[in-house]
């Protein structure tokens, strides 16, 4: 008698909200996935969702995809089980909170929300509804980064993590107008990847930012940021978004100094480990079945919804990354070292005010401090 085969779980029926550039990438990711099934696309601009479906979804599948401007309504009509929030950051709080209160788990694009207070508020909405909110911080889903962590552990664990990020993209649009385009829109990925390499919560941030004379950005396109993790463990980041010439990869270039040697990762190919005695080892190549970036986030989300493990970037865990960003901006503007505990407490007070005005979630009233609420939530 053959052993009973374990049934493959039914694909999770999802609606993608926000039909812009990244929304189209998410629609494609869902279509390629066996764990999820696309049943709807939403955009606040009338007709935008239908246009995205026409461009990205094969004709034969289009009749099964509802479109509209109201997330909860499209999800209800389409019989959706979950939402992928790929709207602009300013809309993340409203779209995600409404979905959670309609009983729909959410996989949201980074950043968690437009402000740290809104991000903490969403952790509270997830608690009060008992509904999963995971943030897709997709650049951490890189097999080379996981391998970098493994090599660093073999050398005794990361003590100094150093990231250099130098590029010269001409985006046009909102990034050219932001006050801190590099820290807020790009360095968030490096800060989050640093958290993959260090097993601790960040304690304080010291940052300085500047705008090179030739910069085509209105805000500061260059910055140096130091994140202290306690016990002497530090992540240093230096970068610029207007540095043509010797550009790094989009993941940046990484050196991880450990007791037994140093790991180097160029952000694109397998890392190498150089031992104290000079011996150099090349890290393992990714396996053909490894999942990367958005596909990895989606698989982790769907697995959690079908009874699997809590995702590594469940909202409470992810908020730390946004707290580093907010602390870096505060430090760059004031010239002071900024304690994460203080930034989180201030944001918790603001989040409680937001929630009191909204009236749907009282979960944050039980948090003793911002940091303890994130650790126990």
Check residue 22 for interaction with ligand NAD (CB under 6 A).
yes
From residue 103 to residue 132, what is the string marking binding to ligand NAD with x (rule CB under 6 A)? ------xx----------------------
Among residues 86 and 332, whose Cβ is nearest to ligand NAD?
A: 86
Check residue 87 for interaction with ligand NAD (CB under 6 A).
yes
In the bound complex, what is the minimum distance in angstroms from residue 70's beta carbon to ligand NAD? 8
In the bound complex, what is the minimum distance in angstroms from residue 185's beta carbon to ligand NAD? 7
Among residues 67 and 262, whose Cβ is nearest to ligand NAD?
A: 67
Number of chain positions touching ligand NAD (CB under 6 A): 21
For ligand NAD, which residue of 3, 7, 8, 21 counts as binding (CB under 6 A)?
A: 21
* Range in contact with ligand NAD (rule: CB under 6 A) among 44-52, 140-148, 301-309, 348-356: 44-52
Contacting residues for 324 by C-beta, under 8 A, at least 6 apart: 188, 191, 202, 205, 227, 340
Given the DSSP bridges, would you call strands 106-109 and 133-136 parallel, antiparallel or unpaired? parallel
Check residue 48 for interaction with ligand NAD (CB under 6 A).
yes
Among residues 11 and 20, whose Cβ is nearest to ligand NAD?
A: 20
For ligand NAD, which residue of 11, 28, 44, 333 counts as binding (CB under 6 A)?
A: 44
Check residue 43 for interaction with ligand NAD (CB under 6 A).
yes
For ligand NAD, which residue of 15, 23, 298, 377 counts as binding (CB under 6 A)?
A: 23
* Range in contact with ligand NAD (rule: CB under 6 A) among 39-47, 59-67, 273-281, 305-313: 39-47
SS (H, E, C) the chain: CCCCCCCCCCCEEEEEECCCHHHHHHHHHHHHCCCEEEEEEECCCCCHHHHHHHHHCCHHHHHHCEEECCHHHHHHHHCCCEEEECCCHHHHHHHHHHHHHCCCCEEEECCCCCCHHHHHHHHHHHHHHCCCEEEECHHHCCHHHHHHHHHHHHCCCEEEEEEEEECCCCCCCHHHHCCCHHHHHHHHHHHHHHHHHCCCCCCEEEEEEECCCCCCCCCCCEEEEEEEEECCEEEEEEEECCCCCCCCCCCCEEEEEECCEEEEECCCCCCEEEECCCCEEECCCCCCCCCCHHHHHHHHHHHHHCCCCCCCCEHHHHHHHHHHHHHHHHHHHHCCCEEHHHHHHHHHHHHHHHHHHHCCCCHHHHCCCHHHHHHHC
Check residue 84 for interaction with ligand NAD (CB under 6 A).
no
Check residue 86 for interaction with ligand NAD (CB under 6 A).
yes
From residue 329 to residue 368, what is the string marking binding to ligand NAD with x (rule CB under 6 A)? ----------------------------------------
Residue with tokens 């005010």: 353
Among residues 45 and 200, whose Cβ is nearest to ligand NAD?
A: 45
* Range in contact with ligand NAD (rule: CB under 6 A) among 86-94, 147-155, 202-210, 335-343: 86-94
* Range in contact with ligand NAD (rule: CB under 6 A) among 19-27, 205-213, 351-359, 369-377: 19-27
In the complex, the residues that contact ligand NAD under the rule CB under 6 A are 17-23, 42-45, 48, 86-89, 91, 95, 109-110, 138
């Amino acid at each position: 008698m053959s052993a009973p085969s374990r049934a493959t779980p039914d694909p999770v029926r999802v609606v993608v909200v926000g039909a812009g550039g990244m929304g189209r990438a998410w629609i494609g990711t869902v279509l390629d996935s066996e764990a999820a099934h696309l049943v709807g696309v939403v955009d606040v601009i009338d007709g935008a969702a239908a246009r995205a479906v026409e461009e990205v979804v094969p004709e034969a599948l289009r009749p099964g995809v509802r479109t509209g401007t109201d997330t909860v309504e499209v999800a209800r009509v389409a019989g959706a089980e979950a939402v992928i929030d790929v709207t602009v950051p300013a809309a993340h709080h409203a779209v995600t909170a409404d979905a959670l209160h309609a009983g729909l788990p959410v996989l949201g694009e980074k950043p968690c929300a437009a402000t740290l207070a809104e991000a903490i508020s969403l952790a509270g909405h997830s608690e009060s509804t008992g509904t999963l909110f995971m943030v897709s911080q997709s650049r951490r889903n890189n097999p080379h980064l996981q391998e970098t962590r493994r090599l660093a552990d073999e050398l005794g664990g990361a003590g100094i993590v150093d990231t250099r990020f130098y590029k010269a993209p001409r985006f046009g649009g909102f990034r050219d107008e932001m006050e801190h385009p590099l820290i807020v829109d790009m360095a968030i990925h490096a800060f989050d990847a640093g958290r993959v390499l260090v097993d601790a919560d960040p304690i304080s941030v010291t940052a300085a930012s500047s705008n090179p004379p030739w910069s085509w950005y209105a805000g500061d396109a260059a910055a140096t940021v130091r994140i202290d993790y306690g016990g002497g463990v530090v992540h240093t980041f230096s970068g610029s978004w207007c540095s043509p010439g010797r550009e790094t990869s989009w993941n940046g270039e990484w050196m991880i100094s450990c007791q037994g040697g140093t790991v180097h990762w160029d952000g694109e190919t397998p890392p190498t480990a150089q031992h104290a005695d000079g011996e150099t080892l090349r890290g393992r190549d990714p396996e053909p079945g490894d999942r990367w970036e958005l596909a990895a986030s989606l698989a982790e989300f769907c697995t959690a919804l079908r009874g699997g493990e809590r995702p590594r970037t469940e909202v409470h865990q992810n908020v730390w990354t946004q707290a580093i960003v907010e602390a870096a901006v505060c430090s760059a503007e004031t010239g002071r070292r900024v304690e994460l505990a203080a930034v989180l407490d201030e944001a918790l007070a603001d989040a409680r005010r937001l929630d009191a005005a909204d009236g749907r979630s009282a979960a944050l009233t039980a948090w003793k401090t911002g940091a303890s609420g994130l650790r126990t939530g």
